[in-house]
Amino acid sequence: MRTVDAPLALRGLLIGTASAATQIEGGDRNNSWYEWAESPGNVADGSSPVRADGHWLRWREDNALMAELGYPIARIGLEWSRIEPRPGEFDHAALDRYREELGDLVDRGIRPLVTLHHFSNPLWLQHAGQWTNLGAVGAFERYTRVAVGALRDIVDEWVTINEPNVYATQAHLFREAPPGNVSVRDLRFVLRHMAMGHLRAYEAIHELQPEATVTIAHHLREFAPRNPRNPVHRLFTRFDSWAFQDMLTDAFGRGVFPWVLGRSPVPAGRYVDVIGLNYYSRTAVSGPADGVFPGVPVTDLGWEVYPQGLVDCAARLHAHLGVPVWITENGTADNGDDERLERFRPRFLVDHLAAILRSKVPIERYYHWCFVDNWEWSEGEVPRFGVVHNDYETQRRTVKPSARMLSEIIRAGALTPEIEDRYAAGLEYPTR
């Protein structure tokens, strides 16, 4: 069944890809995820971010490939532990290396959006209690000022913190990330201090670079009662949405802290210039744990494919904060099969882009997660999210059909029936 019957113009929507430093660079042993991966059982396949995609050495190849595909934007991450290997000591050679990579992107006509914190901490911060420690707030502002000061002549778009809700819950609720201790107290401290860190970084960046665009990458999902007639399911749907994401929209976006996070350190206002949205799936709610509706299309990680949820989450963010929305992540695990590098990713992209282009929400950008298959945190090297395949043994890149499809959409300025037919016809999702 075709999703697109007539061309859907991009109407100024910019399309590119997103990545995180720890997941692609390789080689760094001074970060919290390297230490976490060294303990047996923490990473599903026993792999480590020390290998990843080798991007730290192969960035020219990846930049050239991105330019060849014609992608106008890219979300790129910095590794804090490389830039500040010891507290208060900054490695200017690492900053120069990032300048070279980012400057090359700009020279190739690709506009970088740079993420300052994406799940990974320097080991000195991790061992001091990471974001449970109030000192992390000042340390993050110090690092932000140095990084932005060094790069502001080539970068003016910044993500301060990626998915604080995911960082906190995986570390202190589900034992899926370092330090892996279950503690509601620590969970609360992490969220409070990360919100404070963002607010301080937002003001510091605008002090250094008044024209900058600054945001967070906020992970939202669509919550729905598994049984709409069950009052318990409805109650938990409202609670889960508030606790996981809605209260943080206020704290990070408006400086309005809910009671659970304590008193806000700033007056109420606007602390994002656009709002970044990371969207992947819908949750079927019957209690506090995640669930999936029966019979729905799913990814290779078992997450429901629900494109309308992206638009619904974006609409709520825009209505609440009054700023444009950038989709800073959206993607799918699709490991292909014996004959194909991917089975359904082109269909996934068609369905999500069509939902965006048909909506009236001011969605200005779409960053697909991700460019090259990368090291997927505690899932290791198994899930493949990239539009470019990576052979981890040889680090050889192979462009997938979905990458070519995005290139054609960008070149045409529209998602057309012909492009859908060429890339997505006959592709079907797995079902739960």
pLDDT (tens digit, 9 = 90+) per residue, 136-187? 999 999 999 999 999 999 999 999 999 999 999 999 999 999 999 999 999 9
Q: Walk me through the domains of the chain, giving residue ranges and CATH numbers.
A: 13-399 (3.20.20.80)
**Percent of the chain scored above 70 by pLDDT?**
100
Average pLDDT score, the chain: 97
Residue 154: what pLDDT? 97
Task: Grade residue 287 by pLDDT with cuts at 50, 70 and 90.
Answer: confident
What is the Cα–Cα distance from 120 to 225, expressed in whole angstroms? 33
Do residues 49 and 77 lie in contact, with contact meaning Cβ atoms separated by under 8 Å?
no
Do residues 277 and 331 lie in contact, with contact meaning Cβ atoms separated by under 8 Å?
no
What is the Cα–Cα distance from 226 to 221, expressed in whole angstroms? 15
**Digit-coded pLDDT (tens) for 226-266:** 999 999 999 999 999 999 999 999 999 999 999 999 999 99
What is the Cα–Cα distance from 399 to 388, expressed in whole angstroms? 4
Average pLDDT over residues 117-143: 98
Classify each residue of 139-155 as buried b or exposed e, where b means 16 or more C-beta atoms within 10 Å of its C-beta: bbbbbbbbbbebbeebb
Q: Is the pLDDT of residue 1 over 90?
A: no
What is the Cα–Cα distance from 337 to 212, expressed in whole angstroms? 43
Average pLDDT over residues 320-330: 98
Residue 288: what pLDDT? 81
CB-count burial class (<10 Å; 0-12, 13-18, 19+) for 217: buried
What is the Cα–Cα distance from 88 to 366, expressed in whole angstroms? 36
Q: Is the pLDDT of residue 432 over 90?
A: no
Q: Is the pLDDT of residue 124 over 80?
A: yes
Dig out the tokens for 85 from the structure. Answer: 């290997």
Do residues 395 and 61 lie in contact, with contact meaning Cβ atoms separated by under 8 Å?
no
What is the Cα–Cα distance from 419 to 151, expressed in whole angstroms? 38
Task: Grade residue 290 by pLDDT with cuts at 50, 70 and 90.
Answer: confident
Residue 269: what pLDDT? 97
CB-count burial class (<10 Å; 0-12, 13-18, 19+) for 58: middle
Do the strands 363-369 and 325-329 form a parallel or antiparallel pair, or are they unpaired? parallel
Q: Is the pLDDT of residue 289 over 90?
A: no
**Digit-coded pLDDT (tens) for 15-53:** 999 999 999 999 999 999 999 999 999 999 999 999 999
Question: Tokens 């003001």 sit at which residue?
Answer: 203
Own/partner long-range contacts of 427-430 (Cβ < 8 Å, ≥24 apart): 427/343, 427/344, 427/346, 427/347, 428/344, 428/347, 429/297, 429/298, 429/299, 429/305, 429/344, 429/347, 429/348, 430/297, 430/298, 430/299, 430/300, 430/343, 430/344
Task: Grade residue 10 by pLDDT with cuts at 50, 70 and 90.
Answer: very high
